[in-house]
Amino acid sequence: MMENNTTDKRHCSRFRIEGATLSYKKLKLFSFSPDYTEKNCPILDLSRGGCRFLSQKPPKIDTSVLVEIFLPDDDDPLFYYGEAKWFLPNPGFSYKYQVGIQFNAYGEDERQNSFDNLEKIKELEHKCSNDAQA
């Protein structure tokens, strides 16, 4: 579980996209699970560096994952490699946990996230921050 410290370690602005969901697979050393561990999890917030979502079955901390993000009004999902960094209870709601995923670096190496995804998330961040100011 997440340690209760008051220091926010995020380096990127967080934003919310209403109706965004994700599915994730656990990655192994040389492969990944063929099936999604969990599907259609509501995303609470996103940033260039990661996401926070609701889950019934959180991955263990430090587990490598492949995250597939579905955005409303967009037919093409985004795929991100990342690592589970924390989870904590989400009491009183239909989902039992909140989970934090840190995305891997952007680049062209294996299990790095594409620069196209970086540009897409920058566009989303800009659009969502403008929507919030309107």
Domain limits, the chain: 21-133
pLDDT band at 9 (very low <50, low <70, confident <90, very high): low
Residue 49's Cα: distance from chain center in Å?
9
- Which stretch of 65-69, 97-101, 121-125, 129-133 has the lowest confidence by average pLDDT? 129-133
Angle at 43 between CA 105 and CA 59, to 5 degrees: 65
For residue 7, is pLDDT > 50? no
CB of 83 closer than 8 Å to CB of 102: yes
pLDDT band at 33 (very low <50, low <70, confident <90, very high): low
Measured between alpha carbons, how far is 123 from 74 in angstroms, rounded to an integer?
Answer: 13
In this predicted structure, what is the pLDDT of residue 93? 77
The tokens for 52 are 């926070």
Residue in the structure block whose two tokens are 């609470």:
44
Architecture of the CATH domain 21-133: Beta Barrel (2.40)
For residue 6, is pLDDT > 60? no
